[in-house]
Amino acid sequence: MSNRDDEFTADLLQGTLDLLVLKALAAQPLHGLGVSNRINQITKGTFDVKPGSLFPALHRMEEAGWLKAEWGESENNRRAKFYSLTKAGRRQLETETEDWQRISLAIGSALRAA
């Protein structure tokens, strides 16, 4: 990936990290590394969220009431904090998904315009 690709990813990620985290947790609770891996998977490798971006976002989203966290045991028998969506988090996922779809359509339309 070129530096330009890195800049694109960083810029886009700042505006979409919440949506990606919410989407990653929609199916099941995950620990931090699991969230990062799931985001990488669902974006087909476009986004590789680093802990320095992910954990402050998880904490902020937990404070906002979108996520709840519980301690558990990871697949490698280590203590880990598992995050899951709250009802408010599911509503936020719906809202952000609708917003992103509207923005995406508008940008696509603008790019096709003469």
pTM summary value:
0.84
Decide the pairing of beta strands 30-31 and 67-73: unpaired
Span 81-93, average pLDDT: 98
Span 5-17, average pLDDT: 62
Place of tokens 């530096």: 3
Residue 15 clears pLDDT 70, i.e. is over it? no
Residue 12 clears pLDDT 50, i.e. is over it? yes
Residue 13 clears pLDDT 60, i.e. is over it? no
Label residue 2 by pLDDT band (50, 70, 90).
very low
| CB 20 within 8 Å of CB 49 | yes
3-112 carries CATH number 3.40.50.300: no
Residue 38 clears pLDDT 80, i.e. is over it? yes
Domain boundaries, the chain: 3-112
